Amino acid sequence: MNIGSVLGLLRTEFPDVSISKIRFLEDQGLVEPERTPAGYRKFSHADVDRLRYVLGVQRDHYLPLRVIRDHLEALDNGLEPPVAGGPRSPRLVTSNGVSSATQAAAAEHRLTRAQLLEQASVGGDLLQALESFGLIVPRSDGTFDGDALVVARTAGELAAFGIEPRHLRAFRGAADREAGLVEQVVRPMRSQRDPEAAARAEETTREVSGLCVRLHAALVKTALERGSA
Amino acid sequence: MNIGSVLGLLRTEFPDVSISKIRFLEDQGLVEPERTPAGYRKFSHADVDRLRYVLGVQRDHYLPLRVIRDHLEALDNGLEPPVAGGPRSPRLVTSNGVSSATQAAAAEHRLTRAQLLEQASVGGDLLQALESFGLIVPRSDGTFDGDALVVARTAGELAAFGIEPRHLRAFRGAADREAGLVEQVVRPMRSQRDPEAAARAEETTREVSGLCVRLHAALVKTALERGSA
DNA sequence: TTGCTCCTCACGTCACGTGAGGTGGC
DNA sequence: TTGCTCCTCACGTCACGTGAGGTGGC
C-alpha cells in the first residue's frame, strides 16, 4: 500500500490525518514502513494498525508522541505498556491493535473485578448497575476487557454529573442497532474463506463503525445546538 | 490586579491557562493591560473579561489567535463579533486540540445547497433523503452549517457501503435522546443569569456530550466484538 | 534583610504545513 | 508523452514553555 491509500483508509476514522503527518510520524520513529527500490513507502497491514494505534492514543489520551513511541517499543518487546500519565489518566487500553503480536496482547487484556474497579475509579454498586443494564458484560471466567474499562470509567465520570446507569440503558440499544448495521455490510466478506478477505472484513468493520460513530457525534452536536438556540 | 491574581481568577474556568500564556496573549495583541511605573502589568476587570472571551473562543471554537484578535478589534469598533452569541460547538477535540484554519472555517460555515452537495461529494437525492429523515435540517434562510456537511459527507461514505439514509433514521432518535440527557444536566446552570455560569454551562455541555459519544463508541465496539466472536 | 512576585529576552519545543526541486509509474 | 503520485530537504508556523539574569514590593 502506498501512502495515499493509507491516508484514504485512516481518514474516515481520523479526519485530521494528512500525508505530511504520516511522514512526520515515520520521522519520529512511530512507524517504519518498507521502501520500494525507488524509495516509495510501502505500508503493510501491521503498519496501518500501528498508525491507527498512534492516532487513537493521541486523540483519546492526549499523550505526546515521544511517550507513545516508548509504549510501542515496550509493546514490541512484549512488555506491559507503561501506565499512562497521572492519577486520573486511565491505563492505556485499546483494542485497535498494533502488530499481530501486540494486538493479541490487547485482546488478552484481562482485568479482575477488583482491578476494573480500581482502574476505572468507580464503586462496586455502579459496576453492578452497569452489568444489570447490559452495558458491561464480563467474560465467562469473570474477567473484563478493555472496552469494559472504558465504559466503566466513562459511566463513572457521567455519574459525577448526575447521570446514572439507568439513564444509559438506551445507549445499549442504539449501539446494538448500529453494530447490526455494520454486520450487515461485513457479513458477505466474512463468509469467504480467504484469509485476506478476513483481514479486509476487519478493516471494513472498523471503517464503517468509525463512520457510524462520526455520524452519531455530529447528530448529537446538531441536536444540542438546536436545543440551546 | 497583578498577573498572579488574574491567573487565580481564570484558572477555575480555564485550567490550562498559565502566566506565560497570559504574557503571550499580550504579546500577540489580544490584551493591553496598563503598567505600573516599575513595569508590572496592571489588569483591569475589562482586561480579565477580554481574556475570558479569548480563552473561551479558543477552547470552544478552536479559532487561531490571529482571528480572535480580529474579532476583538471588530468588537472594539462597535461591530458584532462573529461568534458572540454564535454556534455552541462542542467540536470534539482532535488529536491534541491544536487549531487549524480549516477547522475554524468549518465551524462558521454557511453553505448553500449547491456548495454542500459539492463539498460533501453527494447527490441531491441523497441530501433530500437525509432531510426527509430529519438528519439534516437547513437554517431558516436555506443555508447549511458545518455539522450538516459532516453528516452529508459521512452519509455519502456510508452509502458507498450500501447503507442508505433510511437505515440511518434511528441515529436521529438516539442522538436526540442523548442531547436531552445532556440538557437535563446543563439546564440548571443555564437558568442562572451570571455570565460565568453561562460559560460553565457551555463547557459542561461539551464535556458531557463528549463522554456520551465516548460511551457510545465503546458500546458499538463491544457489540461488534461480541457479534463476531 | 528575606522571600516572594514580577520583568524581559532569547531560545526551545511540539506537531505538524508548505513549497522547491526532482523522480517514479501506469 | 501526459498527468498523477510520490520523494527529500529546508524552512515556516502556531502556541506556547523554559530558563537566565535582573528588579520591585510588602
| pTM flag (> 0.95) | no
| Protein-contacted positions of strand C (CB under 7 Å) | 5-8, 14-18, 23-25
Closest nt to residue B40, judged CA to C1': C6
Residues of A in contact with B218 (CB under 8 A): 147, 150-151, 154
Angle at B164 between CA B161 and CA B165, to 5 degrees: 140
**Residue B181 contacts by C-beta under 8 Å, 6 or more apart in sequence?**
A163, A167, B208, B212
Rounded to the nearest angstrom, the minimum Cα separation between A42 and chain B is 25
pLDDT on residue A2: 94
Q: How far apart are CA A30 and CA B92, in angstroms?
A: 25
> What's the CA–C1' distance between A28 and D1, in Å?
39
Helix H or strand E segment including A195: helix A195-228
> What mean pLDDT is predicted for residues A129-144?
93
Q: Is the CB of B4 under 7 A from strand C?
A: yes
Q: How much is the pLDDT for A16?
A: 82
Burial class (CB in 10 A: 0-12, 13-18, 19+), B184: middle
Is the per-residue pLDDT at A67 higher than 80?
yes
Confidence of residue A95 (pLDDT cuts 50, 70, 90): very low
pLDDT of residue B205: 81
Pseudo-torsion of CA A197, A203, A205, A208, nearest 10°? -120
Extract the C-alpha cell encoding B52: 475570558
A159: exposed, middle or buried (C-beta count within 10 Å: 0-12, 13-18, 19+)? middle
Length A54 CA → D8 C1' (Å)? 24
Give how far the C-alpha of residue A173 lies from the chain's centroid of Cα atoms, to the nearest Å: 20
Find the closest chain A residue to B207 by CA distance: A158
Q: Which residues of A touch B205 (CB under 8 A)?
A: 224, 228
Query: How many helices (DSSP H) and strands (DSSP E) are in chain A?
Result: 10, 2
Of A15, A183, A221, the CB nearest to B147: A221
Indicate yes or no: strand C within 7 A of the C-beta of B10: no
| Pairs of CB atoms within 8 A across A/B | 180
CA A16 to chain CA centroid, nearest Å: 16
Sign of the Cα pseudo-torsion (A99, A101, A107, A109, in order): negative
| Through-space separation of residue B16 CA and nucleotide D19 C1' in angstroms | 21
* Contact residues, chain A, for B190 at CB < 8 Å: 228
What number of CA atoms fall less than 13 Å from residue B78's CA on the CB side? 0
* Mutation for testing the A interface, residue in B93, B154, B177, B213 having most A CBs under 10 Å: B154
Q: Is A70 exposed, middle or buried (0-12, 13-18, 19+ CB in 10 A)?
A: middle
Indicate yes or no: strand C within 7 A of the C-beta of B40. yes
B30, amino acid identity: L
Answer for B17: CB within 7 Å of strand C: no
Give the chain B residue whose CA is nearest to the CA of A135.
B219
**Angstrom distance (rounded) from CA A182 to CA A196:** 19
Q: Residue B64: which region, alpha, beta or left (left: phi > 0; alpha: psi -120 to 50)?
A: beta
| Per-residue flag: B24 CB under 7 A of strand D | yes
Q: Vertex B159, ends A12 and B123: CA angle to 5°?
A: 105
Q: What is the dihedral of CA A151, A153, A159, A163, to 10 degrees?
A: -20
b/e code B163-181 from CB counts within 10 Å (16+ = b):
bebebbeebbebbbbbbeb
Residue ranges of alpha helices (H) inside chain B are 3-10, 19-27, 45-61, 65-76, 101-107, 113-120, 124-132, 146-159, 169-190, 195-228
Q: Is the CB of B37 under 7 A from strand C?
A: no
Tens-digit pLDDT profile for residues A1-60: 999 999 999 987 887 899 999 999 999 999 999 999 999 999 999 999 999 999 988 877
Confidence at residue A229, expressed as pLDDT on a 0 to 100 scale: 47
For the record, the C-alpha cell of A70 comes out as: 516508548
Structure confidence at residue B164 (pLDDT): 93
Give the whole-angstrom CA distance, residue A200 versus residue B89: 35
The spacing between the Cα labelled CA in B180 and the C1' in D3, in angstroms, equals 52
C-beta atoms of A15 and B170 within 8 A: no
3-class DSSP string for B147-203: HHHHHHHHHHHHHCCCCCHHHHHHHHHHHHHHHHHHHHHHHHHHCCCCHHHHHHHHH
Question: Cα dihedral angle (B118, B123, B129, B133), rounded to 10 degrees?
Answer: -30
A179 and B137: CB-CB below 8 Å? no
- Per-residue pLDDT in tens (0 to 9) along chain B, 229 residues: 999 999 988 887 787 899 999 999 999 999 999 999 999 999 999 999 999 999 988 877 767 888 888 888 888 776 655 543 333 333 323 322 222 322 333 345 678 898 888 778 889 999 999 999 999 999 889 988 878 888 998 898 899 889 999 999 999 999 999 999 999 988 888 877 776 676 667 767 877 887 888 889 889 988 988 876 5
B81 C-beta less than 7 Å away from strand D: no
User: Which chain A positions have a beta carbon within 8 Å of B189's beta carbon?
Assistant: none
